[in-house]
């Protein structure tokens, strides 16, 4: 960690994690009786440059509280948070020059302005030179398919278009670190896909860029993120790649087998076989599709050998990969929501 009275030097910037929290906590007072609510409890995260990192959790898990602290909008109760090695509480201006933030469902600035006017205004807030601002605005509008709406009033845009304007507004300053807090909340499928596609393309344009994405949509995290952390009641309960989390928290290894024929004897032998947890069989076009849940992946070899011994001709074997949502459910004890309301904390 680097924490000085002046902004970080280039050599220190390259050595420090892009985002880091150390025993970060935030406690809210909830009433006059001295009751408190712990939104974050000793959160420790390290995110390196060029990572697209996902923070997963249910509504109220603490995702938005963490984002607000990292973007200098909220003070922690205890612990530290650093952006490029700089303490977010001590170097507010320097941190804000490096970052941008997009929240799902937020207002798109000033609705009476046109799209171009609004983006131009925010470019001026960040001191972007005029010629460069116009170039960036044209590029961003083309990238998110809003060129035809450039001179349309923001209030007249659809929800999906306004969210794409929000994304352009955040990127017009060319930030190195982008915070995305539920960026696709409330969007239809096409608009959400457009936002995800551009986030991915934006990351690929510059290896120095870093994104912290909060979401409770498991498919979104699986599609976008290099690594993820799961937060539950203010605690980080798991971290790793999405593949790591899916396999580490897989309850059973699942396989789909196709057999040339099927007899009740197969079922009896399978149910008695070591490691077979569950069997589902279905006849399709004269062949049998067999779904197996096994206690471990290695059990598939003796299971297939046993089928061959009793005359079962296996035509194909497919490993059914676990999903991130299944891992999430095992970690936090509840399914990821699909109603997509905003986090409250």
Please report the DSSP string for 243-274 in residue order. HHHHHHT-SSEEEEEEES---HHHHHHHHTST
User: How far is Cα 223 from Cα 196, in angstroms, rounded to an integer?
Assistant: 9
* Residue-wise burial string across 210-247, b where 16 or more C-beta atoms lie within 10 A, e elsewhere: bbbbbbbbbebbbebbebbbbbbebebebbbebeebbe
Please tell me the number of Cα atoms within 13 Å of 127 on its side-chain side.
2
At residue 282, the pLDDT reads 81
User: How far is Cα 327 from Cα 137, in angstroms, rounded to an integer?
Assistant: 40
Please tell me the number of Cα atoms within 13 Å of 18 on its side-chain side.
20
Sign for the pseudo-dihedral over CA of 141, 142, 146, 147? positive
Contact present, 22 and 44 (Cβ < 8 Å): yes
Residue 229's nearest CA partner among 61, 76, 85, 84 is: 61
> 270 phi and psi, to 5 degrees?
-65, -45
Write out the chain's pLDDT in tens, 345 residues.
444 444 445 555 557 899 999 999 999 988 777 789 999 999 999 999 999 999 999 888 999 999 999 999 999 999 999 999 999 999 999 999 999 999 877 666 677 899 999 999 999 999 999 999 999 999 999 988 899 999 999 989 988 888 889 999 999 999 999 999 988 887 888 888 888 998 999 999 999 999 999 988 899 999 999 999 999 999 999 999 999 999 888 888 999 988 887 677 777 788 888 889 998 888 777 678 888 999 888 999 988 888 888 777 888 899 988 899 989 999 998 545 443 333 334
At residue 284, the pLDDT reads 74
At residue 108, the pLDDT reads 64
Q: How many residues are there in the chain? A: 345
Secondary structure in 3-state letters for 96-149 = HHHEEEEECCCCCCCCCCEHHHHHHHHHHHCCCCHHHHHHHHHHHHHHCCCHHH
At residue 237, the pLDDT reads 95
At residue 12, the pLDDT reads 52
User: How far is Cα 65 from Cα 73, in angstroms, rounded to an integer?
Assistant: 9
User: Six-digit token pair at 181?
Assistant: 């807090």
| Strand segments (E) across the chain | 19-29, 36-47, 52-56, 78-83, 86-87, 99-103, 177-181, 210-215, 227-232, 235-240, 253-259, 276-284, 287-294, 314-320
At residue 40, the pLDDT reads 97
Distances (CA, A) of 200 to 195, 209, 248: 9, 11, 26
Secondary structure (DSSP) of 284-295: ETTEEEEEEEES
Tell me how crowded residue 331 is: count the other CB atoms within 10 A of its CB.
18
User: How far is Cα 285 from Cα 266, in angstroms, rounded to an integer?
Assistant: 19
User: Six-digit token pair at 210?
Assistant: 């870093």
Q: Quote the distance between the C-alpha of residue 135 and its chain's center.
A: 30
Find all residues with CB under 8 Å of 6, minimum gap 6, and list them: none
């Amino acid at each position: 960690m680097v924490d000085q009275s002046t902004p970080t030097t280039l050599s220190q910037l390259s050595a420090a994690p892009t985002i880091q929290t150390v025993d970060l906590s935030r406690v809210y007072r909830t009433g006059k009786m001295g009751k408190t609510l712990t939104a974050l409890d000793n959160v420790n995260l390290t995110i390196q440059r060029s990572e697209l990192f996902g923070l997963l959790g249910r509504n109220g898990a603490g995702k938005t509280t963490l984002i607000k602290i990292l973007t200098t909008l909220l003070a922690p109760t205890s612990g530290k948070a650093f952006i490029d090695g700089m303490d977010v509480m001590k170097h507010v201006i320097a941190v804000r020059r490096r970052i941008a933030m997009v929240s799902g469902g937020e207002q798109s600035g000033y609705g009476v302005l046109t799209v171009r006017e609004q983006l131009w205004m925010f470019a001026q807030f960040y001191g972007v030179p005029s010629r460069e601002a116009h170039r960036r605005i044209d590029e961003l509008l083309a990238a998110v398919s809003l060129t035809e709406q450039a001179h349309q009033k923001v209030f007249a845009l659809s929800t999906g278009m306004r969210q794409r304007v929000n994304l352009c507004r955040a990127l017009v300053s060319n930030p190195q670190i982008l915070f995305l807090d539920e960026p696709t909340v409330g969007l239809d499928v096409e608009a959400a896909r457009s936002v995800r596609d551009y986030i991915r393309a934006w990351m690929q344009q510059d290896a120095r860029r870093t994104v912290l994405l909060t979401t409770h949509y498991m498919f979104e995290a699986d599609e976008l993120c290099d690594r993820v952390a799961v937060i539950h009641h203010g605690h980080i309960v798991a971290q790793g790649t999405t593949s790591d989390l899916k396999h580490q928290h897989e309850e059973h290894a699942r396989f789909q087998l196709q057999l040339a024929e099927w007899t009740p004897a197969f079922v009896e032998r399978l149910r008695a076989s070591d490691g077979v947890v569950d069997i589902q069989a279905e006849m399709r076009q004269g062949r049998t599709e067999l779904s197996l849940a096994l206690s471990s992946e290695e059990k598939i070899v003796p299971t297939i050998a046993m089928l061959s011994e009793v005359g079962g001709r296996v035509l194909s074997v497919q490993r059914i990969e676990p999903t991130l949502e299944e891992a999430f459910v095992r970690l936090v004890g509840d399914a990821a929501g699909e109603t997509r309301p905003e986090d409250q904390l």
